[in-house]
């Protein structure tokens, strides 16, 4: 009986062995993990972000450009109406292609634009390099010198993007130079400093203007402001009366829609901005407010809706300052009026996305929206 009991209690213990092939596969995947974020993501100088998917799920394609790509994130997107045209170009309906003596021959074919008409939609194929060619001709600047001026900024510029940039050094420099000059020339043209060509579609097709301005403030559609400033300084005419600052010209361009007073625009002539969206957003921030330093966490304090405030017995009074300046005292809340049209709605959405991605800025827009 004892022997039978011992036989029943005995059992074999197997020792689990690691599968060598799967172990090697795991080690290879760890060593070659795909990089979605750049090494600079999360640092204070990284300020141009891919919009989180959760924002896109709620608000749709409003974070993506419709007309023009600025910077590397959407460069070459075939859905855009203004984009780099592959060389060579064979337009469906050929128009007069301007010749620019200051540009390299390789740029010559892409100064063409064509119209494609359909019963429901007008497609405009228009190269942003056309502005670069006009600038080179007007200022008599050598294209090589322009690229050489941008080249020292390439490493610093890459660190401003949170996602990896999958372009070569030469391609990245060209994107910064062409797109940067396009933005600067756009501000000069809409500001009346440089005249439009008579047949320029940006002038003749009025619907483009509002969409174009909205594209310039999309978070994924930015290039660093120091690149714009470099190109702006390089292309300013020497020996002539200096034109308004780049900040002033940019804010004046947007003021055609925002309709703020001239004084409120002029006082921001030296405002520091990390890119165009940050510049426009900063022009609404109260002057006595200091942005948080790098390691400080900034929280969002939500202001309740008007109906809740009134039910709580709080009186409301209209003010004449920036809509972000809210004061409360003796049961009365003073807050300026704000007209939320298509552009302002788009602007507020971009600002909220920027504030939620960039930890080194205040949450003014998030709090008020």
Q: In the predicted model, is pLDDT for residue 208 greater than 50?
A: yes
pLDDT at residue 113, as a whole number: 34
Is 35 part of a structural domain of the chain? no
Same domain, yes or no, for 179 and 300? no
Same domain, yes or no, for 264 and 315? no
pLDDT digits (tens, 9 = 90+) for 288-320: 666 555 455 555 566 667 777 778 778 777 766
Question: Among 82, 72, 36, which residue's Cα sits nearest to residue 168?
Answer: 72
- Average pLDDT rounded to a whole number, residues 132-136: 84
Q: Which residue bears the tokens 């010749």?
A: 99
Same domain, yes or no, for 153 and 201? yes
Same domain, yes or no, for 115 and 251? yes
pLDDT at residue 158, as a whole number: 93
Is 223 part of a structural domain of the chain? yes
pLDDT at residue 231, as a whole number: 95
* Boundary residue ending a domain (283, 313, 329): 283
Query: Are the C-beta atoms of residues 258 and 280 closer than 8 Å to each other?
Result: no
Same domain, yes or no, for 239 and 309? no
Same domain, yes or no, for 265 and 296? no
Same domain, yes or no, for 66 and 131? yes
pLDDT at residue 252, as a whole number: 92
Of 95-99, 121-125, 193-197, the range with the highest mean pLDDT is 193-197
Q: In the predicted model, is pLDDT for residue 271 greater than 90?
A: no
pLDDT digits (tens, 9 = 90+) for 137-169: 888 888 888 999 999 999 999 999 998 888 999
- Which tokens in the block code for residue 4? 């039978």
List the end-to-end C-alpha distance of the chain, in Å, as a whole number. Answer: 83
Q: In the predicted model, is pLDDT for residue 86 greater than 80?
A: no
Is 44 part of a structural domain of the chain? no
Q: In the predicted model, is pLDDT for residue 196 greater than 70?
A: yes
The C-alpha atoms of residue 171 and residue 4 are separated, in whole angstroms, by: 81
Confidence of residue 364 (pLDDT cuts 50, 70, 90): confident
Same domain, yes or no, for 82 and 158? yes
DSSP 315: E
- Which distant-in-sequence residues (6+ apart) come within 8 Å of 27 by Cβ? none
Is 362 part of a structural domain of the chain? yes
Same domain, yes or no, for 178 and 303? no
Confidence of residue 102 (pLDDT cuts 50, 70, 90): very low
Pairing of strands 315-319, 332-336: parallel
Average pLDDT, the chain: 77
* Boundary residue ending a domain (247, 266, 283): 283
**DSSP structure string for 120-185:** S-EEEEB-THHHHHHHHHHHT--HHHHHHHHGGGHHHHHTTBSB---S-HHHHHHHHHHHHHHHHH
Number of domains into which the chain is organized: 2
Is 191 part of a structural domain of the chain? yes
* Boundary residue ending a domain (250, 283, 316): 283
Is 119 part of a structural domain of the chain? yes
For the full predicted model, state whether its pTM sits above 0.85: no
Is 29 part of a structural domain of the chain? no
Same domain, yes or no, for 277 and 300? no
Same domain, yes or no, for 102 and 176? yes
Is 19 part of a structural domain of the chain? no
Same domain, yes or no, for 148 and 74? yes
Q: What percent of the chain has pLDDT over 90?
A: 28
* Range of the structural domain that residue 321 is part of: 291-369
């Amino acid at each position: 009986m004892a022997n039978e009991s011992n036989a029943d209690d005995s059992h074999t213990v197997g020792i689990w062995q690691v599968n060598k092939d799967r172990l090697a596969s795991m080690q290879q995947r760890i060593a070659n993990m795909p990089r979605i974020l750049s090494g600079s993501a999360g640092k204070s100088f990284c300020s141009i972000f891919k919009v989180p998917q959760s924002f896109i799920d709620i608000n749709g394609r409003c974070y993506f450009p419709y007309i023009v790509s600025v910077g590397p994130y959407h460069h070459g997107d075939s859905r855009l109406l203004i984009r780099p045209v592959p060389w060579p170009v064979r337009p469906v309906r050929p128009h007069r292609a301007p010749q620019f003596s200051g540009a390299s021959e390789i740029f010559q074919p892409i100064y063409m634009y064509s119209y494609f008409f359909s019963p429901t939609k007008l497609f405009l194929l228009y190269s942003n390099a056309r502005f670069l060619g006009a600038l080179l001709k007007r200022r008599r600047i050598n294209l090589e010198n322009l690229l050489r001026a941008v080249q020292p900024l390439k490493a610093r510029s890459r660190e401003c993007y949170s996602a990896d940039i999958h372009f070569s050094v030469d391609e990245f420099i060209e994107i910064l130079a062409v797109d940067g000059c396009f933005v600067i020339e756009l501000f000069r043209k809409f500001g009346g400093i440089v005249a439009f060509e008579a047949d320029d579609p940006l002038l003749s097709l009025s619907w483009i203007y509002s969409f174009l301005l909205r594209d310039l403030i999309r978070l994924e559609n930015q290039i660093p402001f120091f690149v714009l400033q470099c190109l702006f300084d390089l292309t300013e005419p020497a020996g002539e009366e200096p034109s308004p600052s780049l900040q002033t010209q940019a804010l004046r361009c947007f003021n055609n829609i925002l309709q703020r007073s001239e004084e409120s625009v002029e006082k921001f002539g030296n405002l520091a901005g990390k890119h165009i969206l940050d510049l426009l957003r900063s022009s609404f921030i109260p002057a006595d407010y200091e942005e948080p330093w790098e390691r400080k966490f900034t929280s969002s304090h939500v202001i309740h809706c008007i109906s809740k405030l009134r039910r709580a017995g709080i009186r409301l009074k209209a003010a004449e300052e920036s809509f972000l300046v809210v004061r409360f005292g003796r049961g009365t809340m003073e807050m300026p009026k704000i007209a939320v049209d298509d552009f302002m709605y788009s602007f507020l959405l971009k600002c909220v996305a920027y504030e939620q991605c960039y930890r080194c800025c205040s949450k003014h827009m998030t709090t008020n929206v």
